[in-house]
Chains A and B, each alone.
Chain A
Amino acid sequence: MTSQLSTKRAWWRWRPDQQWEGYLFILPSFIGFFVFVILAVIFSLGISFSDWGLTGFKAWAGVENYQALFRDPVFWRALHNTGFYLITIVPSQLVLGLAMALALNQSLRGVGFYRLIYFMPVVTTIVAGAIVFRLLFSTHGPVNGLIEGVAGMFGASVQMPNWLGSTRHSKWAVVFLTLWKNTGFTMVIYLAALQGVAPELYDAAHTDGANAWQRFRHVTLPMVSPTTFFLFIFQAIGAFQLFTEPFVMTQGGPANSSLSVVQYIYLAAFRDIRMDKAAAMAWFLFLFIFIFTLIQNRMQRHWVYYETSD
């Protein structure tokens, strides 16, 4: 226990026993991080509390930029859209990713090939993907053709959705693009987690007479729950920060129906030259994500199972 006492010392205290030269090695990277990230972040906080134009500081503005945000209907629309992306994209990605991982965790012939195929969108350029998706989801495109065909088989005629041109469907087009792009990543992480589950646990469950569903529900799910937690947080942050997908696929339209918050930040900064408003939105989004993640972190003890924790 005496050794533990020494580690109680504040982290910044000089410790002669420590190989302080180590700090020298991380210094080049730290300088870059400090100048281009930390400094810029602190700087943007200052901008958000001032009247800031193209050439710089004009006057202090207090919380005026933040108050103006809440009166801005377009900001609310963007927030609403981002919430929609969050509640559609995150759960579907987790479910789809786990399902794909379970399927590809079998010893099938050519399983490596399938894993490659499903992972391919993750490393594909999003712009190329978006162009293909624009064609797929165009009014007379293959997706509508498929819907028409299926509906025709049942003798029904349906109004073809105008995926990119109507305010009701544009968000879904963005959601599908994002799922296509990112689910492969979820699958790979789950695949690694599944392979880390000890086979003895399944054997024991099998001996106890558990059927396939029970083995999944009571062995697999709890054992991969730390991974689920990680992916949940990771993807929720990704959904909050969604930018490229709506930017290249719908440009936020029509009628701002697919505009995300980060896209609106970009527009405020570079279309409207309102750096102060953009900075205020960025900090608001940061606080939102921070609180969201904090809550999730607190909630995790109710459903995340760490094998080593007892």
Chain B
Amino acid sequence: MKRILILLTVTLALMLVVAACAVPPAPKEAAPEASEAPAASQEPITLSWAFWGSPEEAKTHQKVADAFMAGHPNIKIETMVAPWSDYFTKIQTLWAGGDSSLIPDVLFLWPTPRYAAEGVLENLDPWIKKSGYDLSDYWPALLESAMYKGSVYGLPRDIGLEVLYYNKDIFDAAGLSYPDDTWTWDELLAAAEKLSIPGERYALGMEGGKYQLWVGQNHGSILDDMRNPSKCTLDDPAAMEGVKFFADMMDKGYAMRDADLSQAGGDAAVFQSGQVAMIIQNASRVSAFNAANMNYDVAVVPIPKGGQRSASAGGAAWVMSSGSDAKEAAWTFLSWLQDTDGGQKIYTASGEIFPALQSTARSDAFLKADQPPANRQAFLTEGENAKVGRFGYFPEWGELNGSIIGPAMQRIWAGEVSPEELLPALCEQVDAFLAENGYPK
């Protein structure tokens, strides 16, 4: 009898454990109207806020949270930070777990359309409409990186557009005039020839993954439509010429090969050590170069004759979790983050980003930063001409680019195969992938 009793207890305990693990909690469905958080509530609302970042970036985030709480005493912000490499695994696990008390209310996210397609993000359209939030202040085409099926699901914090950084000392020693907005590919090549010293110095350091800049400048594109593609257009003459321009620079020893660049520690490292005279990169490098007291400036990226400026309009965005139980407060915080008088200014003044809002970029927070680079106008010029093109805004883009397009292009950057040889074959693979996933939809 005693034995049976023990056995029963044990079985029961086992079943409980299994049951607790096997039943997924129901996802919370709440329209903006349904969640009524009285504004005059005495009880402070706690929002959890997740982002990735280095320890220095985390400090800026904390500064932003403190500034918000100072102006909103009834909302308390709890931060959750993880390094880039762990961040996505962590929040995906939280979402998969479905426990809304653990899922952050406001998150930093990339790429937004991928997550919007999974239904874990709040559609911000009703909130934007209700509060009259101004979307026209964003750089052209930038919001599209945070849209899914025509609705806004995130507010981009910054725009990762590239400019040309050049080392003034090296240019002076070579007796060359500094790059400006009249430079075309021809001037760039002519300067590159003088700036490169075989075995010692390259003219240019640029990550292979940024190749689309040249393609877009030459009126080419990766896919015929980056939102709802039907075919790969990398083998069109315009795109092919753009890829060839970059590949030729590497073959001639003007530009550092992608693998060598990453083995040497990345573009910031080789630019600081003088191994390259120019890099093409976004604003994130400014604070490091200033800290190193470098003698440098920036310019717009040279374009081909008859070409167009083609900075990529894309950036990680703030999003709201659809399972949040404090959506009213979350929207208050979200719209404050993306306000020139709110979070945008603090991030911009930290020197880590180029802001998503034009009014912030044209404010003293960016223009009068009192530090190099002198030619900050270059960022504005690139921003005004920003375009869709670097990233696809459909859910499968990450897989397509990460498994097929990106790896294939690496063979060109390694000098193993020519663009003429590779791109038609690559396009066949891309088309097959698109067909497999049912595009165009």
A binding-site residues for B, Cβ under 8 Å: 20, 24, 27, 31, 34-35, 39, 53-56, 68, 71, 73-74, 134, 138-139, 162, 164-168, 253-256, 264, 267-268, 270-275
Q: Are B96 and A272 in contact (CB under 8 A)?
A: no
Given the complex of chains A and B, what is the CA–CA distance between A55 and B98 in angstroms? 7
Q: Are B17 and A74 in contact (CB under 8 A)?
A: no
Q: Are B92 and A54 in contact (CB under 8 A)?
A: yes
- Which of B27, B259, B399 touches A272 (beta carbons < 8 Å)? B399
Q: List 14 extra interface pairs beyond A31-B17, A56-B24, CB under 8 A.
A: A20-B3, A54-B120, A55-B96, A55-B118, A139-B259, A162-B260, A164-B263, A166-B259, A166-B416, A255-B408, A255-B414, A270-B92, A271-B399, A273-B114
- Which of B118, B260, B403, B408 touches A53 (beta carbons < 8 Å)? B118
- Which of A35, A138, A139, A167 touches B21 (beta carbons < 8 Å)? A35
Q: Are A134 and B263 in contact (CB under 8 A)?
A: yes
A259's nearest neighbour on chain B, judged by CB, is: B407
Beta-carbon contacts of B1-26 to A below 8 Å, as 1s and 0s?
A: 00100100010011001100110100
Beta-carbon contacts of B400-441 to A below 8 Å, as 1s and 0s?
A: 001110011011011010000000000001000000100000
Q: Are A167 and B414 in contact (CB under 8 A)?
A: yes
Could you pull out 19 A-B pairs where Cβ atoms are within 8 angstroms?
A31-B14, A31-B17, A39-B18, A39-B22, A134-B263, A139-B260, A162-B259, A164-B259, A164-B263, A165-B257, A166-B259, A255-B411, A268-B399, A270-B88, A271-B398, A271-B402, A272-B398, A272-B399, A272-B402
Q: Are B263 and A54 in contact (CB under 8 A)?
A: no
Most B CB within 10 A of own CB, among A24, A68, A139, A165: A165
Q: Are B411 and A270 in contact (CB under 8 A)?
A: no
Q: How far is the CB of A54 from chain B (nearest CB, A)?
A: 4
What are the residues of chain A within 8 A of B96 when measuring CB–CB? 54-56, 275
Q: Are B92 and A166 in contact (CB under 8 A)?
A: no
Q: How far is the CB of B74 from chain A (nearest CB, A)?
A: 31
B binding-site residues for A, Cβ under 8 Å: 3, 6, 10, 13-14, 17-18, 21-22, 24, 27, 88-89, 92, 95-96, 98, 114-115, 118-120, 257-260, 263, 396, 398-399, 402-404, 407-408, 410-411, 413-414, 416, 429, 436
Given the complex of chains A and B, what is the CA–CA distance between A272 and B259 in angstroms? 24
Q: Are B399 and A274 in contact (CB under 8 A)?
A: yes
B199's nearest neighbour on chain A, judged by CB, is: A140
Given the complex of chains A and B, what is the CA–CA distance between A164 and B260 in angstroms? 9
Given the complex of chains A and B, what is the CA–CA distance between A79 and B171 in angstroms? 49
Most B CB within 10 A of own CB, among A167, A255, A256: A255
Q: How far is the CB of B20 from chain A (nearest CB, A)?
A: 9
Q: Are B404 and A74 in contact (CB under 8 A)?
A: yes
Given the complex of chains A and B, what is the CA–CA distance between A158 and B408 in angstroms? 27
Q: Is the interface of B mostly helix, strand, loop or mixed?
A: helix
Given the complex of chains A and B, what is the CA–CA distance between A212 and B317 in angstroms? 71
Q: Are B398 and A253 in contact (CB under 8 A)?
A: no
Q: Are B260 and A254 in contact (CB under 8 A)?
A: no
What are the residues of chain A within 8 A of B257 when measuring CB–CB? 165
Given the complex of chains A and B, what is the CA–CA distance between A217 and B403 in angstroms? 48
What are the residues of chain A within 8 A of B22 when measuring CB–CB? 39
Q: Are B95 and A54 in contact (CB under 8 A)?
A: yes
Say whether, besides A27-B10, A35-B21, A165-B263, A254 and B120 are in contact (CB < 8 Å).
Answer: no
What are the residues of chain B within 8 A of A162 when measuring CB–CB? 259-260, 414
Q: Are B407 and A256 in contact (CB under 8 A)?
A: yes
Most A CB within 10 A of own CB, among B3, B22, B120, B403: B403
B257's nearest neighbour on chain A, judged by CB, is: A165
- Which of A39, A71, A255, A272 touches B407 (beta carbons < 8 Å)? A255
Given the complex of chains A and B, what is the CA–CA distance between A54 and B323 in angstroms? 13
What are the residues of chain B within 8 A of A264 when measuring CB–CB? 403
Q: Are B414 and A166 in contact (CB under 8 A)?
A: yes
What are the residues of chain A within 8 A of B414 when measuring CB–CB? 162, 165-167, 254-255
Given the complex of chains A and B, what is the CA–CA distance between A274 and B119 in angstroms? 14
- Rank and list the top 6 A-B pairs by shortest CB-CB distance, nearest first: A165-B259, A254-B410, A54-B118, A272-B399, A255-B407, A256-B407
- Which of B119, B260, B408 touches A55 (beta carbons < 8 Å)? B119
Q: Are B399 and A39 in contact (CB under 8 A)?
A: no
Given the complex of chains A and B, what is the CA–CA distance between A272 and B395 in angstroms? 9
Given the complex of chains A and B, what is the CA–CA distance between A95 and B14 in angstroms? 47
Given the complex of chains A and B, what is the CA–CA distance between A82 and B274 in angstroms? 40
Say whether, besides A31-B14, A35-B17, A267 and B403 are in contact (CB < 8 Å).
Answer: yes
What are the residues of chain B within 8 A of A56 when measuring CB–CB? 24, 96, 98
Q: How far is the CB of A291 from chain B (nearest CB, A)?
A: 27
A68's nearest neighbour on chain B, judged by CB, is: B436
Given the complex of chains A and B, what is the CA–CA distance between A270 and B88 in angstroms? 7
What are the residues of chain B within 8 A of A53 when measuring CB–CB? 118-119
What are the residues of chain A within 8 A of B27 when measuring CB–CB? 55
- Which of B115, B398, B403 touches A74 (beta carbons < 8 Å)? B403
Most A CB within 10 A of own CB, among B3, B6, B96: B96
Q: Are B407 and A139 in contact (CB under 8 A)?
A: no
Most B CB within 10 A of own CB, among A35, A39, A54: A54
Given the complex of chains A and B, what is the CA–CA distance between A82 and B402 in angstroms? 19
- Which of B17, B115, B259, B413 touches A54 (beta carbons < 8 Å)? B115
- Which of A39, A139, A256, A270 touches B403 (beta carbons < 8 Å)? A256
What are the residues of chain B within 8 A of A164 when measuring CB–CB? 259, 263
Given the complex of chains A and B, what is the CA–CA distance between A138 and B265 in angstroms? 11
Given the complex of chains A and B, what is the CA–CA distance between A134 and B260 in angstroms? 12
What are the residues of chain A within 8 A of B410 when measuring CB–CB? 253-255
Q: Are B259 and A267 in contact (CB under 8 A)?
A: no
Given the complex of chains A and B, what is the CA–CA distance between A163 and B413 in angstroms? 15
B408's nearest neighbour on chain A, judged by CB, is: A255
Q: How far is the CB of B153 from chain A (nearest CB, A)?
A: 14
Given the complex of chains A and B, what is the CA–CA distance between A62 and B135 in angstroms? 44
Given the complex of chains A and B, what is the CA–CA distance between A253 and B114 in angstroms? 24
Say whether, besides A254-B410, A271-B399, A35 and B18 are in contact (CB < 8 Å).
Answer: yes
What are the residues of chain A within 8 A of B402 when measuring CB–CB? 267, 271-272
Q: Are A139 and B115 in contact (CB under 8 A)?
A: no
Given the complex of chains A and B, what is the CA–CA distance between A53 and B95 in angstroms? 11
Q: How far is the CB of B395 from chain A (nearest CB, A)?
A: 8
What are the residues of chain B within 8 A of A31 when measuring CB–CB? 13-14, 17
Given the complex of chains A and B, what is the CA–CA distance between A272 and B114 in angstroms? 8
